[in-house]
Chain A
Amino acid sequence: MGITKAIAIYALRGVTLLLAVSILSFTLANLSPINPETRYRLSHPGASDENVSRMREYWGIDEPPVERYLGWLSGILRGDWGTSTSYRQPVLSVIGVRFQASLALMMTAWTFSGLLGYGVGCLMGVFRNRMVDRIARRVCLFMCSVPTFWIGLVFLAVFAAALGWFPFGLAVPPGIPPEQVTVAQRIHHLILPALTLSFLSFANLSLHTREKLIDVYDSDFVLFARARGESDIEILFRHGIRNSVIPALTMQFGSFAELFGGSVFAETIFSYPGLGAAVSAAGSGASDMPLFLGIVLFSACFIFVGNLIANILTHVIDPRTREGAKA
């Protein structure tokens, strides 16, 4: 299969996927009994019929759903994602501002969990079935069952409340104009949420890497290397890493969905002004549907990009798949 054809198929898949997500989320939002009219009547008791009908017209409630969907979709294609009802700003600009904060958080957590997870995985692989491995494996299995929001609360209780090392939340110290906030202060506020978020996936990555390394250590070429006199550590650097880093990278890039889902909790607990906190806030209370749907679509794009990078990386780094593509 030619590379152009592969790209075309992948792009087509991406477009249909996003279309399906938009239809699914729009339908679900439409089913909700918390629609603009009930919300308007709740917040304006005794609203006149005239005002209500004007409001119905503004939100297009009397139009058939399909028409409303097409209107929303064409707006999105033109770059008009609607207006957030809670921020009174265009959805796209709210997402833009919030995503910057989220990206800093998610990428820090992602890098940290990747390095830690891979490192621990290598350690477990080298010491397979010995004491270190058994303890580390128990810890990892325990970590897999720990919910993000609880670990966040524990970090908050220990490092912010009891020890006072880190602030309680937010991305910047309160009461300081944004231009005076230093990078050090931002990092200080970022550490706890990022640590919380990275606990989400590092254990999975470690266990996965351990399995891969054990496969390598059981292989014939390692038997031969051992016959040449290589030690476990040498084998790790000469054979182990080469054979396990690509699956690990693929797994990390494929974990964008969990990363985003985890950020909803981490950001809510630490009042971190990112997309995750925004999506949870947009869904609760009076529900800010334009913003919510916008973030759903945006998160789908984000995850798609993660999977795309994973696929590309596999092709670029792994020479075997390139050979396969030519044949």
Chain B
Amino acid sequence: MSNRTSAAISASATLAIILAIYIAGALLPESALRANFSQKGLPPSFEHLFGTDFLGRDMFVRTCKGLSLSLSIGAVASAISAFIALAVGLAAALGSEFVDYAINWFIDVFMSVPHTVLIILISIALSRGAFGMMAGVAVTHWVSLARVIRGEVMQIRSQQYIAASRRFGKSSLWIARHHMLPHLMPQFFVGLILLFPHAILHESGLTFLGFGLPPEQPAVGVILSEAMKYISAGAIWLAVFPGLSLVVLVLLIDTLGHSARRLLAPREAQL
């Protein structure tokens, strides 16, 4: 089997599993989340795969719904982040030296405060809650991808066909649109997928600390912060399985990203 085939198989398999998780979470009935005190605090069994919490809610359903929610939030946040990265990376590489310098300096400023603290600050500025958290995650994650794109554009910029295009009187914007963007697309999509895990982990982390999604949402961060209270009572399953599912989801997306890189940008994948 060629490298390309195996990459394609791995990419479609992981994508199918991720989609299945998303759809399962979206389709599972809300009624499964209702409190049922006759079944509270049950350890994992075949009936309740992840056990039940202290309101009798099925943890498997809650986790699925949480992962599905994480996926949608992660998608929006990493898409915004990736577009910022594309714009900034292009501007840094194509603009004047001053623009490049200014952007690099701005990135330094962003990197000089811990991400977690910066996202908390942005979340507070937007009165906490889902929107603030999403904005926080979106505006803090573009840095690494912006650097990659800037480097890539710097490389393309010295090519002869760019010089020829300039001689024909094309503007910087035209060159960016017609010569640079097609080159950058593979990198951009791979970068977007690889931003996903970071966005999801930061989202659940912030929610865990109480700055993200409100407690009535079935988010993984909410589940884990509730679980913290019951660990001393021995209800270990409340923390272990939802967190493990989150890790598995993140690993799946990571695999998808790396397979996509092997498919779309084989040159970079070998480095």
Using a CB–CB distance below 8 Å, which chain A residues touch chain B?
Answer: 13, 16-17, 20-21, 24-25, 28-29, 31-34, 141-142, 145-150, 153-154, 156-158, 160-162, 168, 257-258, 260-262, 264-265, 268-269, 279-280, 283-284, 287, 292, 295-296, 299-300, 303-304
The minimal Cβ–Cβ distance linking A98 to chain B, given in whole angstroms, is 14
Question: Cβ of A153 and Cβ of B228 under 8 Å apart?
Answer: yes
Using a CB–CB distance below 8 Å, which chain B residues touch chain A?
Answer: 105, 108-109, 111-117, 120-128, 197, 201, 204-205, 208-211, 224, 227-228, 231-232, 234, 236, 239-240, 243-244, 246-247, 250-251, 254
Complex CA–CA separation, A153 to B237 (angstroms): 11
Residues of B within 8 A of A31 (CB): 125-126
Question: Cβ of A153 and Cβ of B117 under 8 Å apart?
Answer: no
Knowing A153-B228, A157-B240, A261-B115 are in contact, say whether A28-B125 is a contact too (CB < 8 A). yes
Residues of A within 8 A of B246 (CB): 147, 150
Query: Can you name the residue of chain A whose Cβ is closest to the Cβ of B127?
Result: A33
The minimal Cβ–Cβ distance linking B244 to chain A, given in whole angstroms, is 8
Question: Cβ of B112 and Cβ of A147 under 8 Å apart?
Answer: no
Q: Is the interface of B mostly helix, strand, loop or mixed?
A: helix
Residues of A within 8 A of B114 (CB): 257-258, 260-261, 264, 299, 303
Query: Can you name the residue of chain B whose Cβ is closest to the Cβ of A156?
Result: B231
Question: Cβ of B251 and Cβ of A25 under 8 Å apart?
Answer: no
Complex CA–CA separation, A29 to B125 (angstroms): 6
Question: Cβ of A32 and Cβ of B117 under 8 Å apart?
Answer: no
Residues of B within 8 A of A283 (CB): 120-121, 123-124, 211
Query: Can you name the residue of chain A whose Cβ is closest to the Cβ of B197?
Result: A145
The minimal Cβ–Cβ distance linking B268 to chain A, given in whole angstroms, is 15
* 8 Å CB contact of B250 from A145, A153, A257: A145
Knowing A147-B246, A147-B247, A150-B247 are in contact, say whether A279-B117 is a contact too (CB < 8 A). yes
3 interchain residue pairs of minimum CB distance = A150-B243, A261-B116, A261-B114
Knowing A34-B127, A145-B197, A146-B247 are in contact, say whether A161-B236 is a contact too (CB < 8 A). yes
Complex CA–CA separation, A141 to B113 (angstroms): 26
Knowing A261-B114, A299-B114, A299-B117 are in contact, say whether A17-B224 is a contact too (CB < 8 A). no
Complex CA–CA separation, A21 to B222 (angstroms): 30
